[in-house]
C-alpha cells in the first residue's frame, strides 16, 4: 500500500473523497491530528461516516496512529474499544439538531463537561449539522476551541459552512468533500435501485443510476433519501403531483403526501417534505433555460423555508408559503403576497 492508499476502514469505508482520506491518514500517522476539524461539502457524500471513521480510529486502543505509516492507520477492529458500538463508547459524543430544530447550548455544555471528566483518554465529539447550532451554543463551543482540552478531537460537519461563525472557521482545520463521480456514486447506490423506475425523469436516455447522479448532484445520501421519499409518497406519479402543486389550494393538506413515521413530530415531517420537494425539483428540471432558472429559484426558496423552519417558523406558515411556491409563485411574488411578519423566524 502506498501513502496514497490509506486503508478504506480509516474513514468508514467512504468511497471517493481520496484527498480527505489521505490528509487525515497523514496527520494521524504523524501523530499530529488537529484538535478540531470542519468537514464541509454537499449533503450526503459521506462526511458523517468519514467522521465516525476518524472517531473509531482515534478511540481504538491498538491504533497505529503516530507510528509514521499513513497506509496503516485506522481502527484495529479487534480490541475492546473497537468492540464497543461507537454510539455507546464513553469517550464519544454526538451532537445533532432534531429535524427542523437547532443544537442548544445545554447539549454542547453537557457533552464537553462529560468528556472533560475523562481526562487522559482520547475522546471525540461529533457535531453533525454544525451550522444548526444556536448562537449561544456556537459561542460555548468557540470558548472550548480557544482552549482545547487535551485529548479531545472535535469533528464538525456542515453542508453550509457560510452559516458558521468566522471564528469557528479559524479555529478548525477544514476537510473539503466533493460530489461523487459517476462510478463511485453508482457503487454506493446500487443496492437501492433494483426495482426503481425513473424513466419519467430520464428524457429517454440514461439508466436509473445516471438519472439519479444528475438529480442528486453526485450525492448518494440525497439519492437514497429521494428514493425513500418517492416510495413514501406512493410512487413517482404521486410525488410529481406534489411537485406540480396538485392539492396546493389547500396548503394544510400538502403534508399528507408524506405519511408520518412512528413518533415523528409535525416539524420533522415538514422538514422531510421540504427536503423532498427540494431534491425532486431537480428531477423536474427541463432543458429549457427559463425553466431551469425557475427550478434554481424554487430550490433556493425551499432552502430558505428549511432554514426558516429550523429557526422556529411555524409549520402552518411554512406550508402556506410552500403551497405558493408549488403553484409557481416567484420569490418576489411570495414575498409580496405575505405580510413581512410571516417571514420573521423569532
Which span (3-11, 75-83, 93-101, 133-141) binds Zn ion, by CB under 5 A?
75-83
Stretch touching Zn ion by CB under 5 A, among 80-88, 144-152, 263-271, 320-328: 80-88
Can you read off the three cell numbers belonging to residue 257? 403526501
Helix, strand, or coil here: 261? coil
DSSP character at residue 16: S
Is 84 among the residues that bind Zn ion (CB under 5 A)?
Answer: no
Q: Which stretch binds Zn ion (CB under 5 A): 24-32, 76-84, 102-110, 152-160?
A: 76-84
Which of 15, 82, 189, 212 binds Zn ion (CB under 5 A)? It is 82
Could you tell me the smallest distance in angstroms from the CB atom of residue 49 to Zn ion?
A: 18
Q: Which three cell numbers stand for residue 252?
A: 394544510
CA distances 312 to 137, 190, 340, Å, are 16, 37, 16
Q: Is 305 helix (H, G, I), strand (E, B) or coil?
A: helix
Q: Cell for 216?
A: 442528486
Alpha-carbon span 66 to 300, nearest angstrom: 45
Phi, psi (deg, nearest 5) at residue 157: -125, 135
Return the number of the residue (12 or 101) whose C-beta is nearest Zn ion: 12
Cβ-based nearer residue to Zn ion, 78 or 182: 78
CB of 114 to Zn ion, least distance (A): 22
Q: Contact, 71 vs 1, CB < 8 A?
A: yes
Binding residues among 283-312 for Zn ion as defined by CB under 5 A: none
Of 22, 34, 71, 76, the one binding Zn ion (CB under 5 A) is: 76
Local structure of residue 330 (DSSP, 8 states): -
Identify which of residues 62 and 286 has a Cβ nearer to Zn ion in the complex.
62
The distance of closest approach from Cβ of residue 144 to Zn ion in the complex, given in angstroms and rounded to an integer, is: 27
Q: How far is the CB of 175 from Zn ion (least distance, A)?
A: 23
Q: State which residue, 63 or 224, has the beta carbon closest to Zn ion.
A: 63
User: Which residue has cell 480557544?
Assistant: 146
- The closest of 82, 80, 71 to 10, measured between CA atoms, is 71
Q: Which three cell numbers stand for residue 42?
A: 454537499
Q: Distance between CA atoms of 156 and 343, rounded to whole angstroms?
A: 29
Among 34, 49, 79, 105, binds Zn ion (CB under 5 A): 79
Minimal distance, residue 76 CB to Zn ion, in Å = 4
Which residue lies nearer to Zn ion by CB, 28 or 82? 82
Inter-residue contact 220 to 48 (CB < 8 Å): no
Tracing cell 461516516 back to the chain, one arrives at 49
**Shortest Cβ distance from residue 15 to Zn ion (Å)?**
23
Tell me how many residues contact Zn ion (CB under 5 A): 6
The least CB distance from residue 41 to Zn ion, in Å, is: 28
Report the chain's terminal Cα–Cα distance, integer Å. Answer: 54
Residues 10-69 touching Zn ion, rule: CB under 5 A, are 60, 62
Interface residues toward Zn ion, by CB under 5 A: 60, 62, 75-76, 79, 82
Amino acid at each position: 500500500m502506498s501513502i496514497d492508499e490509506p486503508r478504506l476502514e480509516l474513514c468508514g469505508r467512504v468511497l471517493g473523497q481520496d484527498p480527505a482520506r489521505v490528509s487525515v491518514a497523514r496527520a494521524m500517522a504523524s501523530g499530529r491530528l488537529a484538535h478540531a476539524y470542519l468537514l464541509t461539502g454537499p449533503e450526503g457524500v459521506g462526511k458523517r461516516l468519514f467522521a465516525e471513521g476518524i472517531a473509531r480510529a482515534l478511540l481504538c486502543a491498538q491504533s497505529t496512529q503516530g507510528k509514521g505509516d499513513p497506509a496503516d492507520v485506522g481502527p484495529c477492529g479487534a480490541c475492546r474499544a473497537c468492540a464497543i458500538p461507537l454510539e455507546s463508547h464513553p469517550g464519544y459524543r454526538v451532537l445533532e439538531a432534531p429535524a427542523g430544530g437547532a443544537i442548544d447550548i445545554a447539549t454542547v455544555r453537557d457533552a464537553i463537561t462529560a468528556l472533560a471528566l475523562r481526562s487522559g483518554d482520547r475522546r471525540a465529539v461529533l457535531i453533525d449539522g454544525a451550522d444548526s447550532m444556536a448562537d449561544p451554543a456556537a459561542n460555548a463551543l468557540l470558548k472550548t476551541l480557544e482552549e482545547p482540552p487535551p485529548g479531545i478531537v472535535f469533528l464538525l460537519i456542515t453542508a453550509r459552512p457560510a452559516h458558521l461563525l468566522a471564528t469557528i472557521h479559524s479555529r478548525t482545520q477544514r476537510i473539503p468533500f466533493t460530489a461523487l463521480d459517476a462510478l463511485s456514486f453508482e457503487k454506493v447506490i446500487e443496492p437501492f435501485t433494483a426495482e426503481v423506475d425513473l424513466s419519467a425523469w430520464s428524457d429517454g436516455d440514461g439508466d436509473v443510476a445516471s438519472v439519479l447522479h444528475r438529480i442528486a448532484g453526485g450525492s448518494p445520501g440525497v439519492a437514497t433519501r429521494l428514493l425513500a421519499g418517492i416510495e413514501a409518497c406512493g410512487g413517482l406519479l404521486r410525488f410529481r403531483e406534489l411537485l406540480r402543486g396538485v392539492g396546493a389550494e389547500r396548503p394544510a393538506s400538502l403534508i399528507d403526501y408524506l405519511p408520518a413515521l412512528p413518533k415523528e413530530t409535525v416539524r420533522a415531517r415538514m422538514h422531510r417534505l421540504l427536503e423532498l420537494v427540494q431534491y425532486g425539483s431537480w428531477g423536474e428540471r427541463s432543458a429549457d433555460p427559463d425553466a431551469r432558472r425557475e427550478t434554481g429559484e424554487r430550490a433556493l426558496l425551499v432552502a430558505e423555508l428549511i432554514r426558516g423552519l429550523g429557526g422556529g417558523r411555524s409549520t402552518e406558515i411554512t406550508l402556506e408559503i410552500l403551497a405558493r411556491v408549488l403553484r409557481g409563485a416567484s420569490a418576489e411574488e411570495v414575498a409580496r403576497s405575505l405580510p413581512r411578519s410571516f417571514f420573521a423566524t423569532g
